[in-house]
Amino acid sequence: MLKQFIPDQYVQSVFDISITELKEKGIKAIITDLDNTLVEWDRPDATEELIAWFENLRELGFQVVIVSNNNEKRVKYFADPHKISFIHSAKKPLSRAFKTACKLMNVKREETVVIGDQLLTDILGGNRSGFQTILVVPVAKNDGFFTKFNRRIERIVFQSMKKKGLIEWEKSEEKK
């Protein structure tokens, strides 16, 4: 059961993901969470660094869809200026939104990676749906109400995975 929570990769931020390596592995598309993955949960706009990251992805031929459990107004306000497709109210970790994102981009699961900051929504949902997954350290130190609850459960899962030797990174508990 715990193996479904283990990401394929763990990085500090989206900027630490090797896009070249993804391309070499046959990845053509990215499904990414929004809040605390790309920007702080309470930041309405993309940072200049993130805008440059999106542009780099496009130049390299990647497609991107934001899949968020947040409401339409929040996700649309962020995604529209950058012409990024999105799925709001996704109900992650359920698989429907992940599959819909692949259809939007016309790609297969094997050609897609899921990026997120939460084990219980992004990583579990991506893994259960058969995607490669990348866990990032949350952008913000604080969270919204529901995410605070998830973070408590995540700490328990991280501790259990560490005890069983299922995780290789040492800083996982410190980052949370």
62-71 burial by CB neighbour count: b if 16+ within 10 A, else e? bbbbbbbbbe
Note whether 27 and 112 are within 8 A (CB): yes
| Amino acid in the structure at residue 83 | K
Secondary structure letter of residue 33 according to DSSP: -
Helix, strand or coil for residue 63? strand
Q: Are 159 and 57 in contact (CB under 8 A)?
A: no
Chain mean position to CA 81: 20
Q: Determine the Cα–Cα distance for residues 118 and 5; give it in Å rounded to an integer.
A: 9
Instruction: Give the pLDDT score at 174.
Output: 43
At residue 77, the pLDDT reads 96
DSSP character at residue 92 = T
CATH of the domain spanning 2-140, picked from 2.30.30.90, 3.40.50.720, 3.40.50.1000, 3.40.50.300: 3.40.50.1000
Q: What pLDDT tens digit does each residue of the chain (176 aa) get?
A: 678 889 999 999 999 999 999 999 999 999 999 999 999 988 889 999 999 999 999 999 999 999 999 999 999 999 999 999 999 999 999 999 999 999 999 999 999 999 999 998 999 999 999 999 999 998 877 665 566 667 677 777 777 777 777 666 554 444 43
The DSSP code for 35 is: B
Question: Where are the domains positioned within the chain?
Answer: 2-140
